[in-house]
Amino acid sequence: MSSLLFCFARKKCYLCSHNYLLMTMNLMKKLIAAVMAVMPFVTVAEEVAEPVEAPKRSLSVSVSTLNTSDSAIMATKPQEGEKPVMPLNIHIGPSKLTLFGYAQTQFDITKTGAETKNSFSLTRIILMANAELTRKLSFFLMVDAASTQASKHLHEYYAQYAFLPELKVRVGQFKTPYTLENIISPSLLGTVNLNEGTRYMAGIAGDALYGNYAGRDLGAMITGDAVRARDGHYYLNYSVGVFNGAGMNLRDNNKHKDVVAMLNVLPTKDITLSGSFVIGKGNAQDDDMFGTVAKGENYTRNRWSVGAEVKWRPLKLRTEYMSGKNGGIGSRAFYAELWCRLFRNLDVVLDYDYLDKNTALSKEARDAFPAWTRTSNYLVGLQYWVYKKCRISTQYIYSDRNMGPDTKAWITQFQIGF
């Protein structure tokens, strides 16, 4: 009896432990299943709660201005082109945008023969922007808001990359490097109007075959300064470019390209000796006044010049001789411009300008020709610098034409630079 009870108890204990084990295993299965079901949600929650932070980028923006001294403005060299006076500089990160410009308004009284005219006029309203994208890459833009022709509002736009001070590459639209007077800013010239010879030779105005394009063209150019002196100036400055030869804001009108080059030698910082040339073939915009080239025809357009600029306080002298050919017709021009500082901020300006559009004409043929072909212009004036690039100029100009009535003009101009 006792043995039977022991066996029964043992069997009951075994059944109890077996049931417990089954129950435990079932609970473990349910727990594992529950954990596996929750895991995806837990992972997402962790990702949302602790996101990976992206690196932060900041861009600094600041505005400044630069006050260029009077001496620095007057010391501007022809090859330096436009120079800001008090520009607005906008710094955006490593880049800089410089905004500047100038405006000229004038009143003139002109007497041609017995006829006298007078008028106010807006000569120029030049707005410029120079963007320094990096230390070597820059972009320049210039517009003339006063131009009466919409196609000529845009004067310059080019990109430039400076590999070295000795080597800069420029591509776009800009002044062709022919003659010193052409590349100097009008805001720094002594004459209110550029000399007639320079206007004709450099494609600024007056040449019917080329047209009036402010001495600018589309193309590519290499330029630079070489051999630096102890005082900081460079002994050599050069420019060599290839251009359409059709004028600004225009596509090429023939298959030929113009080659334009200039070399400036500066033995001292105040003396510039210059030479330049143009070799090309143009497409006539109008009939030649001498009947040798018809509108639409291609013609040889060659030019060369030599000149010098000397700054010797209180004097500043610039002079150039130019020669050229339109087809088979030779031409020549010469000018000499002298400034003399009388006292603080007041200069007297003297200028002589000569142009001969056809050097082959004899005196008899020239006198018999129905339009003037040779002129001499005499200028005397005063200019008072109100503030830096701001001045009042008043000038008397006498134009002696070989044919027709002579012209006398009194021009007063107010200029403001910023």
Triad 79, 145, 155: Cα angle to 5°:
40
Cis link prior to 370 (omega < 30° from 0)?
no
Q: Domain coordinates of the chain in residue numbers? A: 61-417
CB 207 within 8 Å of CB 215: no
Q: What is the pLDDT of residues 213-251, one digit of tens each?
A: 999 999 999 999 999 999 999 999 999 999 999 999 999
DSSP assignment, residue 54?
P
Average pLDDT over residues 316-331: 96
The pLDDT of residue 43 is 40
CATH second-level architecture of 61-417? Beta Barrel (2.40)
Q: What is the pLDDT of residues 343-378, one digit of tens each?
A: 889 999 999 999 999 999 998 898 889 889 999 999
Residue in 392, 353, 394, 390 with CA at minimum distance from that of residue 374: 353
Element (H, E) at 18: helix 2-49
CA–CA dist 161, 290 (Å, integer): 44
Q: Strand 88-92 and strand 329-343: pairing?
A: unpaired
CA–CA dist 156, 261 (Å, integer): 19
More confident residue, 23 or 241: 241
Query: One-letter amino acid identity for 382?
Result: L
CA–CA dist 200, 303 (Å, integer): 11
Flag whether the pTM goes above 0.85.
Answer: no
The pLDDT of residue 340 is 96
CA–CA dist 333, 356 (Å, integer): 6
Q: 148: pLDDT confidence band, cut at 50, 70 and 90?
A: confident
Q: What is the pLDDT of residues 152-197, one digit of tens each?
A: 889 999 999 999 999 999 999 999 999 999 999 999 999 999 999 9
CB 295 within 8 Å of CB 287: yes
Element (H, E) at 371: none
